[in-house]
Amino acid sequence: MKRLKITTILFLGLLSLSLQSIAQSAASRANYDESKVPEFEIPDLLTSFEGEAIHTAREWETMRRPELLDFFTNQMYGKIPGDLAITKWEVIEEGTGAINGKAKRKQVDIHVENNGKKLSFNILLYLPNNVEKAPMFLGYNFYGNHIVYNDPNIRISNAWARNNNTYGITEHRLTEESRGAQTENWQVEKMIDAGYGLATIYYGEVDPDRDDFSDGIHPLFYNEGQDKPLDNEWGAISAWAWGLTKAMDYLEQDPGVDASKVVTFGHSRLGKTSLWAGVVDERFAGAISNNSGCGGAALSKRKFGETLEIINNAFPHWFCDNFNIYNDNEEALPVDQHALIALMAPRPVYIASAEEDQWADPKGEFLSGFYATPVYKLFGKSGIDDEQMPGIHHPIHNSVAYHIRSGKHAVTAYDWEQYIKWADIHVKNQ
């Protein structure tokens, strides 16, 4: 019996080692050479899967948008198995005089339950004092709400977190050490000064970011005997996007919020999430994806930097299982990520890249915006007309917006300055 156990452990250990090395070797083969980008045809957004031409915004909305949305839902991010309304929300703390006396702070617990199981997550809100109903940025953070600003009143989440030495996270627990540690990345004060509110959620409260479907929101929808989603059902990105839609349900009730002006925001994997949430829930006034890369704004068919095979091996829980069909088989995709950008139309969408973030393929992120533009034109909106990428720090602030800044994979003050200027034009003053 004991020997069997040891053999099983050894076998599982070897299996996970070899899976890891397959993933690592795929990552080490990533292409960063523009001349090695394969030739590919970009799927035409204005021709339906059946070959019918789309001429008007109405045809887009009634014929083309639904079939594209269906593809992304069932083949990529995964379908949400059912509707689930908020059972109850509770303001667990609020205070005035936050952010140097310029804002109100609110911490709200959102509770849902289904099939006898429960989940709660917390939204931290900062609302500018001098605005009656604030336009909002809504986005997840990676390491707890208390990381976004050095405010001793922000509660520390108990949810599972990835260990991180910089933030003093060991044994998967968040601590005081990370309070205010990402103030620079969040720029809350700039938002408040510009008349915006911020709503943020720790993503691990909605679904811990690990390949384990026994925790987070997924189990609330399982049928008897089920322990993971079906092949076309939600991975973690879709689950996080669901959380943003529930946050929106709450924001619609908050008297300090202008719910018609809520823009989703996210960085990296959470930038993928921000786009998907914006697409599935048309109540959002816009979406911002910061360095979202593969499975976000970047075109998959370019196979530049991170590829579908790499991402699906490294993060098997992010997309639905059906999406594995396209591992090293991008040619077979009847869509690419420009279609995801176009699904936001006519609402404004911002794609941002960083020069040194080649893993996320800045050019592929830019081209998605360029190829999505004909759909925006159907609605009389402007996008990206020039196929040449703009220079570093030359933002394009149209309905489809884009910038590339110097530096690494991160969110910076420069990024937020651009988002605010653009939101002033396309969201706040609309």
Three-class secondary structure of residue 345 per DSSP: coil
Q: Which is nearer to ligand GTR, 142 or 221 (CB)?
A: 142
216 binds ligand GTR (CB under 6 A): no
Helices (H), ranges, 29-89: 57-59, 65-71
Query: Does 268 participate in catalysis according to the annotation?
Result: yes
Find all residues with CB under 8 Å of 312, minimum gap 6, and list them: 318, 319, 323, 324, 327
Interaction residues for ligand GTR, span 248-287 (CB under 6 A): 268-269
Tokens 């800044």, located at residue: 405
Which CB sits closer to ligand GTR, 65 or 405?
A: 405
- Residue 375 CB, shortest distance to ligand GTR, in Å, is 25
What's the closest the beta carbon of residue 300 comes to ligand GTR, in angstroms?
A: 12
Which member of 268, 300, 353, 399 is catalytic? 268
Nearer to ligand GTR, 28 or 429 (CB): 28
Nearest distance, CB of residue 185 and ligand GTR, angstroms: 12
Which of 78, 135, 216, 293 is in the footprint of ligand GTR by CB under 6 A?
A: 293
Q: Is 111 a catalytic residue?
A: no
For residue 1 the two structure tokens come to 């019996």
Beta strands 400-405 and 396-397 are antiparallel
Residue 343: CB minimum distance to ligand GTR, A = 20
Q: Which is nearer to ligand GTR, 345 or 351 (CB)?
A: 351
The one-letter code for the residue type at 247 is: A
- Taking the complex as a whole, how short is the minimal distance between the CB of residue 259 and ligand GTR, in angstroms? 28
Closer residue to ligand GTR, CB minimum distance, 103 or 237: 237
CA–CA dist 330, 340 (Å, integer)? 16
Angle at CA of residue 140, ends 353 and 419, nearest 5°: 40
Residue 306 binding ligand GTR, by CB under 6 A = yes
Among 263, 288, 294, 340, binds ligand GTR (CB under 6 A): 294
Quickly tell me which residue has 């523009």 as its tokens. 34
Asked whether the beta carbons of 206 and 242 are under 8 A apart, the reply is yes
Give the phi and the psi of residue 144 in degrees, each rounded to 5: 100, 145
Considering 48, 120, 382, 409, which one is annotated as catalytic?
A: 409
The count of other CB atoms within 10 Å of the CB of residue 218 is: 26
Does 311 bind ligand GTR (CB under 6 A)? Our answer is yes
Cis omega (within 30 of 0) for bond into 346: yes
- Which positions lie near ligand GTR, rule CB under 6 A? 268-269, 293-294, 306, 311
What is the set of active-site residues?
A: 268, 409
